[in-house]
Amino acid sequence: MDHRELGVAGAYAFFPEVFPDERGDFASPYQETAFAAAVGRRLFPVAQASRSVSRRGVVRGVHYTLVPPGTAKYVTCAGGRALDYVIDLRIGSPTFGRWESLELTAANGVAVYLPPGVGHAFAALEDDTVVCYLLSEEYQKEHELALSVFDGELGLRLPPGPPVLSERDRRAPTLAEAAAQGLLPRYDG
């Protein structure tokens, strides 16, 4: 499996080989040996596996967790297409404020690893887009935070058209507002 470190320190994209035939295709978006070779250690113990199904135009995020405890994520798309965003929100990180986006599809099998403190968002590019997550911690509402995808300081380039957002994501603060409130994670190297 090929991999590439993203423009956000500690975040990686993984590109599995896809094996098509007359039945469809097969891919393994997570392979422990490839992950360990890229990141330098095994994947976190999985505490929760989650999935979301979104219609075209839905934008979820920017979501992140308080550190500590922090939550690492391994994300892939099992159906449809998603434009996935990895955003460094960690104060003191050499890549603070940077982001990168990749298209995740069921066909390409691309997966993204996000270390704790890194923000995540995605835009569904098709109806019935299924995004799957492996998480290092179970969801705890009090640890889960959000930032505005419209924050000019972040400068995320969203797909054209009006996005469909949750009420929480519509009300999310900007990066500067979250920093002023002491809500951003710290980078520990």
Here the tokens at position 38 are 């890229």
Could you tell me if 51 and 170 are in contact, meaning their C-beta atoms sit under 8 angstroms apart?
no
* Residue found by looking up tokens 């590019």 in the block: 125
Q: Is 3 a catalytic residue?
A: no
Catalytic-labelled residue, pool 63, 64, 74, 113:
63
Cβ burial of 33 (10 Å; 0-12, 13-18, 19+) is exposed
Could you tell me if 59 and 151 are in contact, meaning their C-beta atoms sit under 8 angstroms apart?
no
Catalytic-labelled residue, pool 12, 64, 74, 133:
133
CA distances to 11, 37, 82, 100, 185 from 154, in Å: 17, 31, 19, 11, 16
Task: Indicate the residue type of 31.
Answer: Q
Q: Is 139 a catalytic residue?
A: no
CA–CA gap between residue 86 and residue 180 (Å, rounded): 22
Residues forming the active site? 63, 133
